[in-house]
Amino acid sequence: MFRKLISASPLLVAVTFAAIVFTATGMAQTAKTSAASPLRVFDPSLVDATVNPCQDFFQYSCGNWMKKHPLPADRSYYGRFSELYDLNLSHLRGILEQAETGKARTPNEQKIGDEYASCMDVKAIDATGMKPLEPMLRKIDAMKSAEELPALVGALQRMGVRVYFDMGASPDYADSSREIAFYDAGGKGLPERGFYTRTDAKSAEIRKEYVAHITKMLTLAGEPADRAATDAAKVMALETKLAEASLTAVEERDPQAENHPSDVATLSAEMTHFSLAVYLKADGAPASGKINVTQPKFYAALNELLATTPIETERAYLRWHLLHAFAATSLPESFEQENWHFYAHILGGAEKQQERWKTCVSRVDHEMGDALGQVYVARYFPPSDKQRTLELTEAIEQAMGQDIQSLDWMSAATKAQAMIKLHGVMNKIGYPDKWKSYRTLTIVKGDAVGNQERVSEYKTARDLAKIGKPVDREEWQMTPPTVNAYYDPQENNVNFPAGYLQPPFFSGKEGDAANYGDMGSTIGHELTHGFDDEGRQFDATGNLKDWWTKGDEERFTARAACMVKQYDAIEVVPGVHLNGKLTLGENLADLGGLRLALMAWLQKADAAHVEMAAKRDGYTPEQRFWIAYAQQWCSETRPEALRTQAQTDPHAPDKYRTNTILQDMPEFAKSFSCKQGDAMVIAQPCRIW
**DSSP letters spanning 501-547:** SSTTT--TTS-HHHHIIIIIHHHHHHHHHTTSTTGGGB-TTS-B---
31: pLDDT strictly greater than 70: no
Q: CATH fold of 7-73+388-434+486-671, please? A: Collagenase (Catalytic Domain) (3.40.390)
CA distance 521 to 41: 13
Integer-rounded Cα radius of gyration of the chain: 25
Residue 6: band (very low, low, confident or very high) from pLDDT cuts 50, 70, 90: confident
650: pLDDT strictly greater than 70: yes
pLDDT at 3: 58
Structural contact between residues 364 and 96, judged by C-beta atoms closer than 8 angstroms: yes
Domain boundaries, the chain: 7-73+388-434+486-671, 136-330
Please write the tens of the pLDDT for every residue from 401-449: 999 999 999 999 999 999 999 999 999 999 999 999 999 999 999 999 9
Output phi, psi for 292, to 5 deg. Answer: -120, 120
For range 253-282, the mean pLDDT: 98
CA distance 160 to 322: 9
For range 40-68, the mean pLDDT: 98
What percent of the chain has a predicted confidence (pLDDT) above 70?
95
For range 103-123, the mean pLDDT: 97
Structural contact between residues 547 and 612, judged by C-beta atoms closer than 8 angstroms: no
The identity of residue 604, as a single letter, is K
Residues sharing a CB contact under 8 Å with residue 58, sequence separation 6 or more, in sequence order: 630, 633, 654, 655, 658, 659
Average pLDDT, the chain: 94
How distant, in Å, are the alpha carbons of 150, 235, 314, 320, 614 from that of 310? 15, 11, 7, 16, 75
Q: How many CB atoms lie within 10 A of CB 677?
A: 7
The reply to whether 7-73+388-434+486-671 and 136-330 are identical in fold is no
DSSP conformation letters of 413-446: HHHHHHHHHHHTPEEEEES-SSPPP-TT----TT
Prediction pTM value: 0.94
Residue 2: band (very low, low, confident or very high) from pLDDT cuts 50, 70, 90: low
Q: How many CB atoms lie within 10 A of CB 287?
A: 11
User: Among 100-104, 514-518, 565-569, which is the least confidently predicted range?
Assistant: 100-104
pLDDT at 24: 28
Please write the tens of the pLDDT for every residue from 357-403: 999 999 999 999 999 999 999 999 999 999 999 999 999 999 999 99
CA distance 593 to 528: 6
The class that CATH gives domain 136-330 is mainly alpha
CA distance 189 to 437: 32
Bridge partners (DSSP) listed for residue 290 = 263
At 485, is the secondary structure helix, strand, or coil?
A: coil
Residue 416 CA to its chain's centroid (Å)? 32
604: pLDDT strictly greater than 60: yes
Structural contact between residues 11 and 644, judged by C-beta atoms closer than 8 angstroms: no
Please write the tens of the pLDDT for every residue from 488-518: 999 999 999 999 999 999 998 899 999 999 9
21: pLDDT strictly greater than 80: no
